[in-house]
A and B are shown apart, each in its own frame.
Chain A
Amino acid sequence: ETGVTQSPTHLIKTRGQQVTLRCSSQSGHNTVSWYQQALGQGPQFIFQYYREEENGRGNFPPRFSGLQFPNYSSELNVNALELDDSALYLCASSLTGTSSDTQYFGPGTRLTVL
């Protein structure tokens, strides 16, 4: 167990809806990264938050947005859901967010868009 938790475990939405996914980081970690993992693919970097500020972003449209709170928990929001958004969404916390830092992944949220 990594100490990183995510909720909900599974979620079903319909196209056009909005969704919020939540992540609690490992104690003492001030950095959280979000990844999307489609079936049979590797995780794709969405963005990273460091001390409540977005620290970097992957190739995802603006309808993917996030927040990090003072206790370093985090949210991923996706607006105007599309069928291709169906995937496992993973958050990973790390101590400092530097590249050499180990990222500890949560169990993920399985999102299905119908």
Chain B
Amino acid sequence: GQSLEQPSEVTAVEGAIVQINCTYQTSGFYGLSWYQQHDGGAPTFLSYNALDGLEETGRFSSFLSRSDSYGYLLLQELQMKDSASYFCAPAGSYQLTFGKGTKLSVIP
């Protein structure tokens, strides 16, 4: 069967670093995407890992270990605007599978 796990909520202080973990079990796995969604907004693409290792894009980094069916999103130098829901989404041949997401609250 398919499963996707990530923490439901995380709270962190402005300027700090936070890591959001994701474990997955899906069929036909091609890669792992991460999306950000602010309340009332649409999901926006953050990163995609097709291969094992770390991908860095500005303050955000994403990691994938295919053998462990595990990935994480690392957010550095947190800003208040980073308060949002973050979804890991394993990619199949054509579709993304989203879990319930992690609600990140950044506090002063």
A-B CB pair tally, cutoff 8 Å:
62
Taking CB atoms and an 8 Å cut-off, the chain B residues in 83-108 that contact chain A are 87, 89, 91-101
Q: Binary interface profile of A, 37-71, with partner B (CB < 8 Å = 1, else 0)?
A: 00011111100101000011010000000000000
Task: Please indicate the chain A residues that have their CB under 8 angstroms from the CB of B96 in the complex.
Answer: 33, 43, 45, 99, 103
Q: Binary interface profile of A, 4-44, with partner B (CB < 8 Å = 1, else 0)?
A: 00000000000000000000000000000101000011111
Complex Cα distance, B89 from A102, in Å, reads 12
Total count of chain B residues near the partner, CB < 8 A? 22
Docked-complex contact B31 and A99, CB < 8 angstroms: yes
B43 within 8 A of A: yes
A105 within 8 A of B: yes
Task: Please indicate the chain A residues that have their CB under 8 angstroms from the CB of B101 in the complex.
Answer: 42
Point out residues on A near B: beta carbons under 8 Å. 2, 33, 35, 40-45, 48, 50, 55-56, 58, 90, 92, 97-100, 102-108
